[in-house]
Amino acid sequence: MSLLSFDIGGSSVKYAVIDDSGQILYRSKAATPATREEFINLLVKVTAEQRQQYELEGAGFSFPGAVDDIAGVIGGSSAVPYIHDFPIKQAIADALELPVAMENDANCAALGECWCGAGQGYHDVVLFVIGSGVGGAIVHDGQIRYGRHLHGGEFGYMLARGHHILSEVGSTRAMAEAVADAKGKPHEEMDGLQAFALADDGDPDAVKAAEDMYEALAAAIYDIQYSVDPDIFLLGGAISERPGFTASIERHIDKILQDVEVGRIRPQLAAAQHGNDANLLGAVWHLIDKIK
């Protein structure tokens, strides 16, 4: 079985052909189109090209926003405004003449990791996606836990420090902005790579900002352990590939467990394995599940 997978982002559309064992047979990407018409045309073009080599049986989509696969509509907002608030699933299915399934991008990442990545073999998995904000997903027995308002796993909205939410204190963007503020620089002159490079060199402002980030994420993970009680937490986003990132959060979790004597469950953490491919894999797994 060969299936198309699309991962829609603000700057690029990644796509792949993946078989039902999770093997990526082909992958490529294109710039995200500026209009809905151009977007549909891109999907049709990619599908026609891949049909020349593969017998395609469906197309899975990873989208930003509040994705409702049953209604076929994407709520919320994102960097791709034209995908929202119209029957996009039916429009794509009609254009491609294929079965179509769609899912939120963080949910796709979690499903991809549970299918053939770091979450394989676990019943209850929580994924954190750490980047410009903090997102995530909750998976139980291979199924996403959506919640009443499709906000299950939106950990970035959790209160983390005073009235600040986790995305404002536990993201790489927040860490970089904290370093910029300490240096008296505009935020646009400092990104995560630069901020962590300073921390690696022992810069005290950057070290403090990094430790604040780890502390905020550790507290959120501790709280979720005692509310969702998952088997494992997976850490995703580009920052998760940084050496020592997981260990730094674990160090702060250990501090919490020392202070909270009744808390005896130590959350199990692991870095996600598939990086950007996780969204593509999860979109296909979601599609397979819908086809079945």
pLDDT of residue 154: 92
Give domain status of residue 116, yes or no.
no
Does residue 157 sit in the same domain as residue 94?
no
Give domain status of residue 215, yes or no.
yes
One pLDDT digit (tens) per residue for the chain, 292 residues: 899 999 999 999 999 999 999 999 999 999 999 999 999 999 999 999 999 999 999 999 999 999 999 999 999 889 999 999 999 999 999 999 999 999 999 999 999 999 999 999 999 999 999 998 999 999 999 899 999 888 899 999 999 988 999 999 999 999 999 999 999 999 999 999 999 999 999 999 999 999 999 999 999 999 999 999 999 999 999 899 899 999 999 999 999 999 998 988 999 999 999 988 999 999 999 999 998 7
- Count of domains forming the chain: 2
- What lies within 8 Å, CB to CB, of 252 at 6+ separation is 211, 214, 215, 217, 218, 219
User: Tell me, what amino acid is at 76?
Assistant: G
- Please give the C-alpha separations between residue 89 and each of 4, 36, 59, 191, 255, in angstroms, as whole numbers: 15, 13, 11, 36, 47
pTM strictly above 0.85 = yes
Does residue 129 sit in the same domain as residue 259?
yes
pLDDT of residue 150: 85
Does residue 84 sit in the same domain as residue 97?
yes
Length reported for the chain: 292
Give domain status of residue 21, yes or no.
yes
Does residue 142 sit in the same domain as residue 248?
yes
Helices (H), 74-191: 88-96, 105-116, 166-169, 172-183
Domain of 159 in residue numbering reads as 122-271
How many angstroms separate the most distant Cα atoms in the chain?
Answer: 62
pLDDT of residue 271: 96
Nearest to 79 by CA among 10, 7, 173, 135: 10
Q: 160-176 burial, b for 16+ CB within 10 Å, e for fewer?
A: beeeebbbbbbbbbbbb
Does residue 157 sit in the same domain as residue 225?
yes
Give domain status of residue 117, yes or no.
no
Cα 231 from chain centre? 19
Does residue 83 sit in the same domain as residue 220?
no
pLDDT of residue 209: 98
pLDDT of residue 161: 87
Does residue 141 sit in the same domain as residue 92?
no
Report d(CA 242, CA 157) in Å as an integer. Answer: 24
DSSP tag of 228 = T
Report d(CA 247, CA 291) in Å as an integer. Answer: 40
Give domain status of residue 115, yes or no.
no
pLDDT of residue 162: 86
CATH classification at residue 81: 3.30.420.40
Give domain status of residue 188, yes or no.
yes
